[in-house]
Amino acid sequence: MIDLKYIEKNFEEASNKLAKKGVQKELLEELKKLFEEKKEAQKAYEEKRATQKSLSKEFGAYKAQGKDINQLKEKLDNLKDEISKLEERAKEIENKLYNKALMIPNFPLDIVPEGNDENDNVEIKRVLEPREFDFEPKEHWELAEQNGWIDFSRGVKLAKSRFSILANEGAKIERALINFFLDFNTKAGFSEFNVPVINNSKMLLGTGQLPKFEDDLFKIEDEDLYLIPTAEVALTNMYNDEILDEKELPLLLTAYTPCFRKEAGSAGRDTRGIIRQHQFDKVEMVAITTPEQSPQIFDKMVENASNLLSALGLPHRLVELCGGDLGFSAARTIDLEVWLPGQKQYREISSVSTTQDFQARRAKIRYKDNSGKNKLVHTLNGSALAVGRTLIAIMENYQNEDGTIDIPEALKPYLNR
C-alpha cells in the first residue's frame, strides 16, 4: 500500500512517479480532495472539542457556585451530539482514503525505464546460445501429444478449458522439476516450506491481490477463502501483523504449490498448449529484508532463477520491465524469458520483483531495529521456476527430429536415469 502521508505532503512528486505506471492524475486528485475533507473534518472536530472543554470547566464552576446550569447543560448535550457526528464523519473519510489507497499501485523505482507495455521492456543480457536445429522444431503441444505427455481433451472434460492432464513421462518430469527446484533453492540459502493453498481475504489483501484483482481469483463459495494464485501470498503473509527482530533478517523462503488463476482478460491468448492454464505448478522464492538488504537480495534472486535455467541447459534472457508493464505491487521487476524454438521466441518463465515496503504496509510486517524502533520490512518475490513452462522449454529445446525428447543431465538423478 502506498504511503498516504508521503502523497499528502508530496502530491506532485507522487503523481509524476505513478504516471510512469500509467496512473491517471484524476485518481490522485480524488485522494487529494479526501485529504482536504479529512483536514476540514479534523479541524471542526478539534474546535468543538475545545469548546466542550471550556464549557465543561464553566459548568463545573457554575455547579460549585449553585448557579443555574440548565442552559450550559443543554449546550453541552448539543455539543456532544455534534462531536459524535464529526467523529463519524472523520472515520468515514478515513475509510474512503484507505479504500482508495488500496486501489493505487506501488511507486516504481527510478531505475525502471519509461514505457507503455511489454514492447518497451529493456533486454539486459542473454544467457546460453539457442541450439541450431537441422530440422523444423515442433511446438510443445505437438510434442506432448506425440509422446503422450499431456492429455488436453480429458483435462477439459474434467474441468473446463485451460485445464490439462500431465501423463506418463510428462508427469514424472514435472515432479522431478519440483524437487530439483526446491533442492537448488535450498542450496542457495532458501528455507523450504509447505503452505496452505487456500488463504483468507486478509492475506490476499496483504500482498495486493485484493481488492483490485478479485476477478482473477477462484473464491470458495460461502467462505472468506480463496485458492492462491502464487505461493508468494502464503509465504509473505506467514509474517502478517508481526514484528520481527532485525537479527532474523533477511528471511529467504521457498515453497512449491499448485497455483490457481482465472486468467480474466486473457481470452484468445495462448489457447493452445499449457502456456496459460487455470491451474499450474510453481516453485516460489520470497524474501523479507531490511531496506538496506533488499537490493542485494533482489540480485541474488534474479541470479538464482537464471542459474536454475542454466543448470537445465535452457537459453534465456533477462529483461527489465518498463513502468507501463510493471505489476500492481512491484517497484521493480526483472523477467527471465526462456527460448522456445518451436515458437521461435522468448517467453516469460520467471518474474523477480521487489515491492519495497508496499506489501509490508498492507500486511503490517515490521521489524525492530537495533535502536528498538519498529520499521517496515521490504518484501521480494520471484518464480524459481514456473514448472509447466519449464516442461515446455525442455520439450522444445531437447526435441529430436523423430519427435522424441531427451532429458537434461541435471534431471536424470531425479528420474533414476
Check: CB of residue 336 under 8 Å from CB of residue 305.
yes
Q: Which of 162, 232, 261, 329 is catalytic?
A: 261
Q: Which of 351, 353, 366, 383 is catalytic?
A: 351
**162 included as an active-site residue:** no
**348 included as an active-site residue:** yes
**362 included as an active-site residue:** no
**8 included as an active-site residue:** no
Half-sphere exposure of 124 toward its Cβ, with a 13 Å CA cutoff? 20
Distance CA 336, CA 315 (A): 10
**C-alpha grid cell, residue 127:** 544467457
Distance CA 93, CA 99 (A): 10
Residue type, 347: R
Residue 124, SS3 per DSSP: strand
Exposure of 166 by Cβ count < 10 A (0-12 exposed, 13-18 middle, 19+ buried)?
buried
Distance CA 204, CA 181 (A): 25
**366 included as an active-site residue:** no
Q: Which of 8, 37, 276, 320 is catalytic?
A: 276
Angle at 354 between CA 375 and CA 333, to 5 degrees: 160
Distance CA 119, CA 116 (A): 8
CB atoms within 10 A of CB 307: 14
Radius of gyration of the chain (CA): 27
Active site residue ranges: 261, 276, 348, 351, 389
